[in-house]
Amino acid sequence: MTEDLQFDKDGRLHHFLSIEGLKRETIVEILDTAESFISVGEREIKKVPLLRGKTVVNLFFESSTRTRTTFEIAAKRLSADVINLNPSVSSTKKGETVLDTIDNLEAMHTDLFVVRHINSGAAHLIANHLPRHVRLINAGDGRHSHPTQAMLDAFTIRRYKKDFAGLKVAIVGDILHSRVARSLIHALNILGVPEVRVVAPKTLLPTAVEQLGVHPFHNMYEGLEDVDVVVMLRLQRERMEGALIPSEQEYFRVYGLTEEKLSVAKDDAIVMHPGPMNRGLEIDSAVADGPRAVILPQVTNGIAVRMAIMALIMGGNVQRERKGKE
């Protein structure tokens, strides 16, 4: 179902809902296209005309700072008209359904929706409801998927490590509740990363997590030994039911990333974090601000990656635009 919704009959991206169902060639096309957009942010005039005349609506039913802002910047750099809405404090709070909200906005000639929702599957529900000429990007749905975050993380890894072959990647923290982890695991497996590890207490790992194509660890020193990339996750306390950790202090002692724990990784290992980052809980400030952290470049890269995804699903002729600038 996801694959049918995500692709046109000719195999081109139509919606961007999930990493599942994507082929390696599609992911590489996104990463390559994003590479061509990196330089746009370095120009005096940070604009390309690919989406001129198009209307993009950022529809965030769940709060966000980085994702919503980078989507807004990305759309504006593509010359689209951008509307930002928080329907959770307006239409839906007054009793309007999600699909009625979508219908009203589509009636205003919206071309592309960027949707974040607290419920898993919401993006698929909306995409299935939209007329075929309107496109949708999933900006995160419940605990299910956050595909553009996975793409910007993969893009960041490729910029620092060049090739995915031979890499060891450790994802540390609240795997159970993390749509970021789920999407990134799928992306890394598709891209051919030979070893993806998840490091967490048993209470924060999904049942039968090995079926996702990962190697689980409960000890930080063992999980980080000789890895090339460390991806830290925040504790998603808003999604937790019951006490899944003894205390925040104990969690940091055992699973917080410190320079001492990082010392068992490779000397050139990079440290990533999708944000928001909780210093002193999942990561120590000395690491977050240290030379191996690439957390702020992740944010910068997110703009180029989201530009690439928007351009590709909207049918923008990226190659023609690139040639015109050469």
For residue 90, pLDDT over 90 is answered with no
Q: What is the pLDDT of residue 296?
A: 96
Q: Is 125 helix (H, G, I), strand (E, B) or coil?
A: helix
The topology under which CATH files domain 147-298 is Rossmann fold (3.40.50)
Mean pLDDT for all residues in the chain:
91
The pLDDT of 48-74, averaged and rounded, is 94
pLDDT digits 0-9 by tens, 169-204: 999 999 998 999 999 999 999 999 999 999 999 999
Q: What is the pLDDT of residue 318?
A: 47
Spatial distance between the Cα atoms of 254 and 173, rounded to a whole number of angstroms: 11
Among all residues, which ones are annotated catalytic? 66-67, 94, 116, 146
pLDDT digits 0-9 by tens, 263-317: 999 999 999 999 889 999 999 999 999 999 999 999 999 999 999 999 999 985 4
Longest dimension (CA), the chain: 58
**Orientation of helix 147-161 relative to helix 24-37, angle to 10°:** 70
Contacts of 246 (CB under 8 A, 6+ apart): none
The pLDDT of 220-233, averaged and rounded, is 98
- CA angle, 189 then 6 then 57, to 5°: 110
The pLDDT of 231-237, averaged and rounded, is 85
Q: Which amino acid is at 72?
A: E
- CA angle, 87 then 91 then 95, to 5°: 125
Listed in order, the ranges of the chain carrying CATH 3.40.50.1370 are 2-145+300-319, 147-298
H/E stretch holding 230: strand 229-232
Q: Which amino acid is at 255?
A: Y
pTM of the model: 0.92
pLDDT bin (cut points 50, 70, 90) of residue 239 is: very low
Q: What is the pLDDT of residue 32?
A: 97
Instruction: Kindly report the CATH class assigned to 2-145+300-319.
Output: alpha beta
pLDDT digits 0-9 by tens, 143-165: 889 999 999 999 999 999 989 99
